[in-house]
Amino acid sequence: MDRAIKLQLSTSEMNYFPDEVIEHIFDFIPSHRDRNSISLVSKSWHKIERYSRHQVFIGNCYAISPERLIRRFPCLRSLTLKGKPHFADFNLVPHEWGGFLHPWIDALSKARVGLEELRLKRMVVSDESLELLSRSFVGFKSLVLVSCDGFTTDGLASIAANCRNLRELDLQENEIDDHRGQWLNCFPDSSTTLVSLNFACLKGETNLSALERLVARSPNLKSLKVNRAVPLDALTRLMSCAPQLVDLGVGCYENEAEPESFEKLMAAIKKCTLLRSLSGFSEVAPVCLTAFYPICENLTSLNLSYAAEIQGNHLIEFVQFCKRLQLLWILDSIGDKGLEIVASSCKELQELRVFPSDPHDEEDNNTAVTEVGLVAISAGCPKLHSILYFCKQMTNAALITVAKNCPNFIRFRLCILEPNKPDHITSQSLDEGFGAIVQACKGLRRLSVSGLLTDKVFLYIGMYAAQLEMLSIAFAGDTDKGMLYVLNGCKKLRKLEIRDSPFGNAALLADVGKYETMRSLWMSSCEVTLGGCKRLARNAPWLNVEIINENENGRMERNEEDEREKVDRLYLYRTVVGTRKDAPPCVTIL
Amino acid sequence: MELDLDLSLSPHTNSSNFGLGFDLSKHLNTKEKRFDAMLGLENMEEDCYVSKPRSFSLNGQSDKEDDDPLEPDSSVVYDEEENCKVVGWPPIKSCMKKYLNYRHRSRNHPYHHHGRRINISNQPATTERGGPLTSLRSSMYVKVKMDGVAITRKVDIKLFNSYESLTNSLIAMFSQYQDCDREDTNFKFTFQGKEGDWLLPGDVPWKIFAESVHRISITRDCPCPYTRLLF
């Protein structure tokens, strides 16, 4: 941001330079926000910035239309698009809600934009779109799909076959229909440019020989994440022909390894001296994890969140040697003891995610993590800045200690599995604990709260969380005041998502202008009524106010509309292109 | 670092009193009182919605004061086993949820032996491949219903060892009922587990699927006049 300010001050001098020079200077400013600021300085800068902008990030695909995007940034090369609201990850948004990729590809293709990279999150992607994409952009290099759905391996086949310069195909947690096609075979023999290939989320069989041949002819391959269907001996062969791998996602081994295969695997692993990141292990005997001991000291990233077969003691045995770990995603089977060992071994840790191995508390084991593990991590890992922690219990004292130990949190997400659960020692609400977090962590940008919480926690958040951009609330608060504290206090708030909390029309309508400064607001199972939403929509034409209905019949019956009727799910967002035309029957846009 | 938050709240041991008559301003320090006053919210009591007691426990019954557990505006859904489950809670992605669900069920299966997996510290010389699960049962028949075919067939799951072999055989079995070209057709297989949820091939590893599948449903999608008549 400093550079942008300095440039702003010397505009008049700078305008003596030809545009190409100014453009070259802008090249050093990649941040979207800085570039947005630059474009506001003057008309000539706006123009230069427009034509030199290559990367665009669109946080809500319905905030703008593809045509307007292309008109403003005709030299676009890299586009990031996000579709469905975040709570779609937890089945709170109907499948057909929207977020379709096709209109974007269609428009970009027609305008002959030189697209090279496409990153999508929670969008609906069809095979037709993928085919059109593969045929329209000669220089296309990189496709990253996260939590998308609507396509099959046929779509992947067209990407493989037609994108001659493909470097990256990264599929993360998508719902992909796996047909009995041979998409891996569709990479032509001349294709040697792959740098990153991730198909871990594919559920079907994989053509192993096609995969091995592809890996063998891709000398630049740095990242390879295979799916469950790749057995141990195949993995060994893959690693043997790709010792340059930096990032590896391991498949699944239904049967325990023969000692000989295990030896071969270890030998192949030893050669991968550049390996820094490991994931997968979804159906694996612990012995396979131990095969990676030779390189575990080099690891900076370890994702064992799908390794439910590996028991706590084996996890601990492995992780304690990963001294350089910066990122760790793990199941709570590691236990508090395991986290204490992580705290004493992994001094470089920056991001930790602990997922629940028993989300509905159906088993009798007591090895889940508690506040003890969280405190240990906060005490032992000075560089920790991001945490996602699922646990069964928490105390204010622990949170206050964590806040004192770790004032550097940027992301703090705590999920106590049982809604409304109080401090398990004092039986009080957790207001003070979370209050301590927001007061201590002055750079906090993302927060998720849980447990028993009153309006007071929101008073603290409104007062102290000055940098907060995203807040997730569930089963919390007592009155509209809670939501109002947040809306009034958090000046940088961009995304607010609330479920099952008693906030109603008074909070929703108090400051309509606030929503223009935010990307979106989600409220489900709250106290807002249809009448309140209608009033909001009338006073804020720049917003799309969407009501998502429960019933399958579709639109709300006109004669049954009662303004006092509570709205099941409300999703509103700012937009410059008005009401969208592709909403399904279960969505009513006011 | 000095934190000036007040830890001692008024005791709220009976959590069902929350939200009723709780005076927020009593327990704040001066700075916080000023923030509260600034927002002009002190007189909001009448307009604000005050919630009913919201405490309930996931595993037990809902709060005593809550007579009707099936409130229309609640997102608590009671499934067939009377296990109180909240929609979309806890907030974990569906792929992880599916994975953990089936790992749990396989561990609690009556035939499951805990010693099935190799433990590196006490590894016997040879270990039985595949474990006792598959060998204890000689056959396991499952109903298969294909879209547009009146008769339900039955297959023995134990005869197969992968999704691919199962789906190939099923297609072959139903081929006599088809009146559209095989190459054109896209078959969609869905499997119903014992708990009632529907999965796609590969959602769970084959072993676990083979122990818990209850029913199979096949829909097909092909450009053929017969299927057009169905819709």
A285 close contact with B: CB closer than 8 A: yes
**Backbone angle region of A147, left / alpha / beta, with phi > 0 → left and psi within -120 to 50 → alpha:** left
Asked if residue A554 lies in contact with residue A43, where contact means CB atoms within 8 angstroms, the answer is no
Asked if residue A435 lies in contact with residue A413, where contact means CB atoms within 8 angstroms, the answer is no
In this complex, the residue of A285, A404, A488 whose CB is nearest that of residue B117 is A285
* Among the listed residues B168, B170, B94, the one whose alpha carbon sits nearest the alpha carbon of residue A204: B168
pLDDT beyond 90 at A144: yes
SS (H, E, C) B67-96: CCCCCCCCCEEECCCCCEEECCCCCCCHHH
In this complex, the residue of B32, B90, B200 whose CB is nearest that of residue A359 is B90
In this complex, the residue of B3, B27, B56 whose CB is nearest that of residue A436 is B3
- The model's pLDDT over B79-132, given as tens digits with 9 standing for 90+, comes to 333 344 688 899 999 888 888 877 776 665 544 333 333 323 333 333 333 333
**Backbone angle region of A236, left / alpha / beta, with phi > 0 → left and psi within -120 to 50 → alpha:** alpha
Place of tokens 């469950």: A228
B60 — pLDDT class (breaks 50, 70, 90): very low
pLDDT at residue A231 in the model: 84
Separation CA A54–CA A395 (nearest Å): 48
Separation CA B131–CA B137 (nearest Å): 12
Q: Per DSSP, what are the bridge partners of residue B145?
A: B217
- The model's pLDDT over A449-476, given as tens digits with 9 standing for 90+, comes to 999 999 999 999 999 999 999 999 999 9
pLDDT at residue A561 in the model: 63
**Inter-axis angle of helices A232-241 and A208-216, nearest 10:** 20
In this complex, the residue of A314, A396, A478 whose CB is nearest that of residue B22 is A478
- The model's pLDDT over A45-93, given as tens digits with 9 standing for 90+, comes to 898 899 989 999 999 999 999 999 999 999 999 999 999 999 999 999 9
Separation CA B67–CA B86 (nearest Å): 18
**Contact residues, chain A, for B57 at CB < 8 Å:** 418
Separation CA A163–CA A149 (nearest Å): 21
Higher-scoring residue by pLDDT: B61, A360: A360
DSSP state of A258: P
> With the C-alpha atoms ordered A168, A174, A180, A181, is the resulting torsion angle positive or negative?
negative
Percent of chain A residues topping a pLDDT of 70 = 93
Q: Do A428 and B44 touch (CB under 8 A)?
A: no
CB within 8 Å of A558: residues ≥ 6 apart:
none
Higher-scoring residue by pLDDT: A273, B116: A273
* Among the listed residues A100, A129, A115, the one whose alpha carbon sits nearest the alpha carbon of residue A166: A115
Number of CB pairs < 8 Å for A and B? Answer: 225
B3 — pLDDT class (breaks 50, 70, 90): very low
pLDDT beyond 60 at B195: yes
In this complex, the residue of B3, B27, B59 whose CB is nearest that of residue A361 is B59
pTM score, two decimals?
0.78
Asked if residue A323 lies in contact with residue A347, where contact means CB atoms within 8 angstroms, the answer is yes
Number of H helices, E strands in chain A: 22, 23
Q: Which residue of B has its CA nearest to A508?
A: B48
pLDDT at residue B176 in the model: 64
Separation CA A585–CA A553 (nearest Å): 8
Separation CA A448–CA A437 (nearest Å): 11
Please give the distance of CA A10 from its chain centroid, rounded to a whole number.
38
Q: Which residue of B has its CA nearest to A472?
A: B91
A211 — pLDDT class (breaks 50, 70, 90): very high
- The model's pLDDT over A295-338, given as tens digits with 9 standing for 90+, comes to 999 999 999 998 887 888 888 999 999 999 999 999 999 999 99
Burial (CB < 10 A; 0-12, 13-18, 19+), residue A328, is buried
Q: Which residue of B has its CA nearest to A254?
A: B130
Could you report the predicted ipTM of this complex, rounded to two decimals?
0.86
B168-189 average pLDDT score: 69
A482-489 average pLDDT score: 97
* Cα distances (Å, whole numbers) of residue A155 to A125, A151, A186: 9, 6, 11
pLDDT beyond 50 at B20: no
Q: Which residue of A has its CA nearest to B19?
A: A478
Place of tokens 């593990």: A373
**Contact residues, chain A, for B48 at CB < 8 Å:** 479-481, 504, 506
**Contact residues, chain B, for A149 at CB < 8 Å:** none
